Amino acid sequence: MTASERPLLLAASLAYLVVVLAIGVWAARRTRNARDFFIAGQGVGLVVAALATMSAAFSGFVFLGGPGLTYRMGIVSLFIVAPVGFTSGLLCWVVGKRLRLLAEAREVFTVPDAIACRYRSRAAAGLAAVAVALGTVGYLGAQFLALGVLLQSMLGLQGLAPAVAVGVAVVLAYSVAGGMLAGVYTDLFQGALMTVAALAVFALAVRVPGGWSAITASIADAEAFGPRFLDPLGGGTAFTAFGFFFVFGVGVLGQPQMLHKFYMLRDPRQLRWFPAVLGGSQAACILIWVGIGLAVPALVAQGRLAPLERPDDAAAAFLLGFAPDALAGLVLAAVLAAIMSTADSFVNIGSAALVRDLPRALRRPVRDELLWGRIVTVGLAVAAASLALAYGDLVALLGTFAFGTFAAALAPALAVGLNWTRVTARAACVSIVTGTVLNVTLELLRRTDAFPFAAGVLPAAVALAGSFAALFLATWWTAPPRGEAAPDETVRAVMEA
Amino acid sequence: MGRRGKESRVSRNLAVATLTLLSLALLAATLVGHPLAQAVFAIGALAFPVPLIALGVARRDGSARLGAVLLALTLLLVGSGVGLLALSGGGAGGAPALLVLLLGLGVAPLVLVAIAYAVAFGRAGIDERDLRRIRRLAGGERPGTDGDAGG
């Protein structure tokens, strides 16, 4: 039975959409300038910023792609979410503090802005903007693909295209209207919804198949899954498992949808409890991945659920088949929230890269950034929706590629560059180009026999390690910054703080 | 240069050297594909966040104050990873592997890091003197992103 035949379930989802649109309209009225549009007027408190960071980071990838990936690969997929144990602290210690202090001293709205301040290099800022735009199309594509899969399951639509079109229209409606101000408050609402729903569905997911023992026993005994499913490296090699850990643990330092939130904090001292709130809410949300990811194969093994034709249907199949209408409605609304909160963050980040950062790097600044931001947003959404329809694989794999693009392109230049004055603008450029080109090229080669690495190696892991190596080697081999190319006194003060 | 400044420089250089070696080791391991290379890759990936944090807090006495936390984090991450490698294969995974994965790599580091960050915030996070200095320096130059030096 689809959601369209269950009125309570549909009502919950529609109520969610109405609230989100209302927030968008409210925020649009408060959006007066580019500062409001891009960094929410730098007036956001700790809980709002941390929950918005979580909901921007945890997307359809976690709520829908995650259980799908676990269904296909087994518990090796959980290496993607395990790093949340330290990533919130890593973010704050390594880049969050510096970015927020930079925003105290300079008018920085975007990641390329921070790179421009740090390296005093238009080339580095421009390359970062290109990487952000590329990653944005990939990440938005993953969100639209997830949205399409979800709406198809909920409404029983034939074909992805109409479902994706509905999702794109809603995301555009509030992000074009309200920019990041709408984004951050919808993120807050969506983050709270995601946390509550994840806790509720986890309890159900453990109970329905008969508890933990029954889940592991059913999976281990099933021919379709077997003990390999529960083996930490069973569904891949150590390269896959620890590659996930590396990319999603360290690559978090290059994710603009998370880094932007640091600019929005009202007071830098609010960072003290940021890792606790961010990490706690992330830990709660990954329960939905763990719960549904293990419950669905157990239910298939027990013969209570038909084997899935498409792994990405795992979350919807569980919710529509085993959750009471009210809970299913809440959780499906939360999945929509997870997808759309990330999508609207990226819509704004991508438009900032193309409307602010790239033109400035090319010395062709745009006069009306607010207007052009809204126009470019539409173009990005259309490009991402096209990618979503053309991709033809799991949501999580498209998400890994996009996450890897940001990670490999931006993490080394930011994480090392903001903490070590010796890093040169040339080294940052080499690292950004190496990371971007390696990730895209290896992702394409992975689909052919020409992939030059060992079995199970993730293109994003190679690109991230390569980008770090390129940054260090280029720094050692290029002259240390002197005179005008060195960070100025204010930026040095930020880096020494 | 004072003793603390020298210590900070040593900590930073040590972190940078470790990160350089780890990134090269990770890259080399992916090309080789030997089981030993897989173990090198695993340990390199697990250890990588620690020198990054050390680099982030290598200011005045930050990394010295966080030494115990960084050591505990290294032990948790690498210990759990080695445990998972040991549990893999031969059908020994299941519930114990899940427990190590979720508790050893997830929950325990989260508690450690969240508490350590809040407790050490004044020393390894933001202190009032730094904030005042940055605001004073910023007073005369805001706004602008200064991306005009070429490069």
3-state secondary structure of A44: strand
Q: What does the pLDDT read at residue B141? A: 58
Which residues of A fall within a CB distance of 8 Å from B117?
Answer: 89, 92-93, 272, 274-276
Whether B85 contacts chain A with CB within 8 A: yes
Which range among A109-118, A182-191, A375-384, B81-90 has the greatest average pLDDT? Answer: A109-118
Is the pLDDT confidence value at A109 over 60? yes
Q: How confident is the model at residue B134 (pLDDT cuts 50, 70, 90)?
A: confident
Provide mean pLDDT across the span B21-30. Answer: 95
Q: Could you count the other beta carbons within 10 Å of the beta carbon of residue A332?
A: 27
Provide mean pLDDT across the span B20-31. Answer: 95
What CA–CA distance (Å, rounded) separates A51 from A281? Answer: 7
What CA–CA distance (Å, rounded) separates A415 from A409? Answer: 11
Please tell me the least confidently modeled range out of A212-216, A249-253, A341-345: A341-345
Provide mean pLDDT across the span A101-107. Answer: 89
Provide mean pLDDT across the span A308-323. Answer: 91
At A274, list the tokens.
């940021």
pLDDT tens column, A412-434: 999 999 999 999 999 999 999 99
At A184, list the tokens.
């951050």
pLDDT tens column, A430-469: 999 999 999 999 988 887 778 888 888 999 999 999 999 9
Please tell me the least confidently modeled range out of A115-124, A247-256, A322-331, B53-62: B53-62
Question: How is B13-33 classified by DSSP, letter by letter?
Answer: HHHHHHHHHHHHHHHHHHHH-
Q: What does the pLDDT read at residue A97? A: 93
- Would you call A242 and B41 a contact, using CB atoms and an 8 Å cutoff? yes
pLDDT tens column, B80-104: 999 998 888 655 556 788 889 889 9
Q: What does the pLDDT read at residue B64? A: 63
Q: What percent of chain A has pLDDT over 70?
A: 93
Q: How confident is the model at residue A56 (pLDDT cuts 50, 70, 90)?
A: confident
Q: Is the pTM of this model over 0.95?
A: no
Closest to A246 in 3D by CA, of B83, B52, B17: B52
Q: How confident is the model at residue B147 (pLDDT cuts 50, 70, 90)?
A: very low
pLDDT tens column, A283-295: 999 999 999 999 9
Please report the residues numbered 91 through 150 in chain B whose beta carbons come closer than 8 angstroms to any beta carbon of chain A.
91-95, 97-98, 100-102, 105-110, 113-118, 121, 124-127, 130-131, 133-135, 137-138, 141-150
- CB contact at 8 A, A112 and B142: no
Q: How confident is the model at residue B24 (pLDDT cuts 50, 70, 90)?
A: very high
Whether B59 contacts chain A with CB within 8 A: yes
Partner residue facing B105 (CB), from A82, A97, A489: A82
Is the pLDDT confidence value at A224 over 50? yes
- CB contact at 8 A, A350 and A38: no
What CA–CA distance (Å, rounded) separates A246 from A238? Answer: 11
- Dihedral angle, C-alpha A103, A108, A109, A114, nearest 10 °: -100
Q: Which one-letter DSSP state was computed for residue A189?
A: H
What CA–CA distance (Å, rounded) separates A454 from B29? Answer: 9
Provide mean pLDDT across the span A155-179. Answer: 74
Q: How confident is the model at residue A60 (pLDDT cuts 50, 70, 90)?
A: confident
What are the Cα distances from residue A407, in Å, to A243, A326, A411?
A: 13, 38, 5
Q: How confident is the model at residue B54 (pLDDT cuts 50, 70, 90)?
A: very high
- Would you call B110 and A88 a contact, using CB atoms and an 8 Å cutoff? yes
Provide mean pLDDT across the span B39-58. Answer: 95
Q: What does the pLDDT read at residue A354? A: 93
Q: What does the pLDDT read at residue A318? A: 94
Please report the residues numbered 2 through 31 in chain B whose beta carbons come closer than 8 angstroms to any beta carbon of chain A.
12, 16, 19-20, 23-24, 26-27, 29-31
Provide mean pLDDT across the span A391-415. Answer: 90
3-state secondary structure of A265: strand
Tell me what ipTM this predicted complex has. 0.89
Provide mean pLDDT across the span A365-380. Answer: 82
Question: What are the φ and ψ backbone dihedral angles of A2, each rounded to 5 degrees?
Answer: -90, 170
Partner residue facing A419 (CB), from B26, B30, B55: B55
Is the pLDDT confidence value at B5 over 70? no
Provide mean pLDDT across the span A399-413. Answer: 94
Q: What does the pLDDT read at residue A45? A: 85
Please tell me the least confidently modeled range out of A156-170, A243-257, A451-465: A156-170
- Would you call A231 and B16 a contact, using CB atoms and an 8 Å cutoff? no
What are the Cα distances from residue A214, in Å, to A244, A295, A300, A323?
A: 28, 10, 13, 19
Mean pLDDT, rounded, of chain A: 86
Closest to A184 in 3D by CA, of A91, A62, A50: A50
Provide mean pLDDT across the span A111-116. Answer: 94
Q: What is the rounded end-to-end Cα distance, in angstroms, of chain A?
A: 58
Is the pLDDT confidence value at A268 over 70? yes
- CB contact at 8 A, A128 and A432: yes
Q: What does the pLDDT read at residue A82? A: 93
